[in-house]
Structure 1
Amino acid sequence: MSGFFSRYKFAINPQEGVLILITMVWGGTFLAVHHAMTVSGPFWFIGVRFATAAVLLGVISWRVLRGVTWYEIKAGALIGLAIGLGYGLQTYGMQTIASSKSAFITALYVPLVPLLQWIFLGRMPGLMSWIGIVLAFGGLLLLAGPEGGEIAFNAGEIATLLSTLAIAAEIILISASAGKVNVQRVTVIQLAAASIFGFIMMVPNGESVPPYTPYLLYSAVGLGMASALIQVTMNWAQRSVSPTRATVIYAGEPVWAGIVGRIAGERLPGIALLGGALIVLGVLISELKLKRKKKVKSHPSPSAPQ
């Protein structure tokens, strides 16, 4: 056993550690969004949530916003569109399908990220990353507990399936622009773009502004603060964390969502707990690095014939 660990190096850098903490917050927002959908339409809530986040972060970052560049505007707008599509379509789908089925379909973004980064960025994932992704994906399937393992593609399921492409695109776009933009500026822009997208989509979805309730206000402000924290941290951390590793870390979201749900009174079956364990194992294995033994060059002894 000691020989196995001597061949591998387990290391989590500060950026990866922060992403794990952010994923805990991210998973904790699931219950709040679920309850908010009882008093609001999906796209109105998405619009208000990200508008709140954009305003909060904009107030903090107003000095650095003066130096915004066209590249940051374009990058932020594209990422914001992906965020709006991902969150909006997923929320829309949850109106007509069970949360377990939604989680199963959304899990597809896990293998999509390394495939998309290979196609568009030319970055081939390493062996340990692939093993971690397979384990995390399998764990997500068990955690979601799909009914009969089959998906009937109704409108809600198609919307959720499309949201996985948007989520994968968001991670790829953030990594593609990382290091070329100011984190605060691009985050404000992408949050504002996601908000605008949500409000625009109210029209084709036939939504109207819901009646005011204190719970709706608290949910929008609280989740807006969480969104600002999540997005600025993702932009900062993915400057040094690869899309594949970031994706495996993000795969822990349903684990934390399940923990919050349990505290709120929900009880996960044993098969779901096994799935959560596989996700954690996938995160750990993806962080293992194979140590390559350095070849020692043999030098002839002074007495040896030349």
Structure 2
Amino acid sequence: MSTSATVTQRRLPALAALTAATAVWGSTFLVTKESLTDVAPTSFVAWRFGIAAVVLASVRPGRLRALSRHERQRATLLGLFVAAGFLLQTTGLQHTAAGVSGFLTGASVMLIPLVAAVAFGARIGAAGWAAVALAGVGLALLTRGGGGSPTLGAVLTLAGAVCFAVHVAGLSQWATPANAYGLTAWSVGVAAAASWVVSLLAGQAAVPESGGAWRALVYVAIVATCLGFGVQAWAQSALSATSAAVVMTLEPVFAAVIATALGSEDLPPAGWVGGLLVVVSMFVAELGPRDCCDARAPRIECC
């Protein structure tokens, strides 16, 4: 069998697997939103990352031990932004539709070049500025709910997207094939600890009492987080960074479609137009020229 045929045989299953994982990540917006009737946002995030941290550390403990002191310091900083991002996003879900939350969170992709420029002196090319312009118009349509001022949920979710952008920009600067898993597992552990502290201070720390809340937690922590990470790592070994980026850019689309079909949410026409512009901006940002390694690094949604 020729090498090209072997590559093609690997690409098709990898594309299918990564598409399925992306759909799972998109579904977490609705799953999380519906679980917030039974558990407080800070408690949900704490349990989610607590479970994921235990699993990730148990699977490859050697990767954690292999991290240098400097790498652990960097992973700790990344974990704090992870915690802040998810706490803001999950709290925002109480005040906004799951589909809108998916599009707003997706805006973190176009924010990454801006963060990289400010924090690491990276140069923003034409593709980066085009992505910012497109997403700006889309976000204006998405955040204004019925046409008035931006909603509280939209503001919180956008703040979370900024935190995600900082995390990915940092990971793109500091991650290598050798330390990516260790950085991710350590940052997830830090995110869990930080989320528990916030939950305790807010008086929201509690053991979920409903079966639905536990099913949601197992789904987002094990299926979307740990299994999703494994699927992504395997799939990207057979795909180019561009192919993987295109597939994963569809996450907010899956979020909106699933929320509309299964969650009975109604996104107005202006919202769909705004969401489309955000997705287009994500494609532009992902496919434009870039020198960083963020396409090879683990995405935080799956970790």
Query: Does TM, scored on the shorter chain, surpass 0.5?
Result: yes
Report the CA distance shift for 1:111/1:128 in structure 2 as closer, same or farther (over 3 A). closer
Aligned partner of 1:84: which letter?
A: A
Describe the superposition over 1:102-159 as per-residue Cα deviations: whole angstroms up to 9, x where unpaired: 668757645532222112222112212322342244334445552324237x6x6764
- What's the C-alpha RMSD, in Å, of the aligned pairs? 3.8
Equivalent pair of 2:111/2:132 in contact (CA under 8 Å): no
Equivalent pair of 1:251/1:279 in contact (CA under 8 Å): no
Structure 1: stretches of 5+ with no match in the other structure:
1-12, 291-306
The residue that corresponds to 1:182 in the other structure is: 179
TM-score, normalization: structure 1? Answer: 0.71
Match of 1:224 among 221, 224, 227: 221
Match of 1:212 among 204, 209, 212: 209
The residue that corresponds to 1:170 in the other structure is: 167
The residue that corresponds to 1:260 in the other structure is: 258
CA distance in 2 between counterparts of 1:115 and 1:201 reads 28
Equivalent pair of 2:79/2:186 in contact (CA under 8 Å): yes
CA distance in 1 between counterparts of 2:194 and 2:45 reads 9
Report the CA distance shift for 1:32/1:80 in structure 2 as closer, same or farther (over 3 A). same
Aligned partner of 2:76: which letter?
A: A
The residue that corresponds to 1:81 in the other structure is: 80
Report the CA distance shift for 1:274/1:214 in structure 2 as closer, same or farther (over 3 A). same
Aligned partner of 1:112: which letter?
A: L
TM-score, normalization: structure 2? Answer: 0.72
The residue that corresponds to 2:196 in the other structure is: 199
Equivalent pair of 1:187/1:235 in contact (CA under 8 Å): no
Equivalent pair of 1:103/1:144 in contact (CA under 8 Å): no
Other structure's SS at 1:201 match: helix
Equivalent pair of 1:139/1:275 in contact (CA under 8 Å): yes
Q: CA deviation at 1:185?
A: 1.5
Q: Report 1:266-277 matches (<5 A).
A: 266=264, 267-277=266-276
Aligned partner of 2:194: which letter?
A: F
Report the CA distance shift for 1:137/1:253 in structure 2 as closer, same or farther (over 3 A). farther
Q: 226-235 vs 56-65, which deviates more? A: 226-235
CA distance in 2 between counterparts of 1:283 and 1:204 reads 36
Comparing both structures, which one devotes a greater share of its residues to helix? 2
Report the CA distance shift for 1:47/1:271 in structure 2 as closer, same or farther (over 3 A). same
Q: CA deviation at 1:86?
A: 0.5
CA distance in 2 between counterparts of 1:144 and 1:255 reads 17
Q: Report 1:1-306 matches (<5 A).
A: 23-96=22-95, 109=108, 111-143=110-142, 146-151=145-150, 159-179=156-176, 182-225=179-222, 226-229=224-227, 252-266=250-264, 267-286=266-285
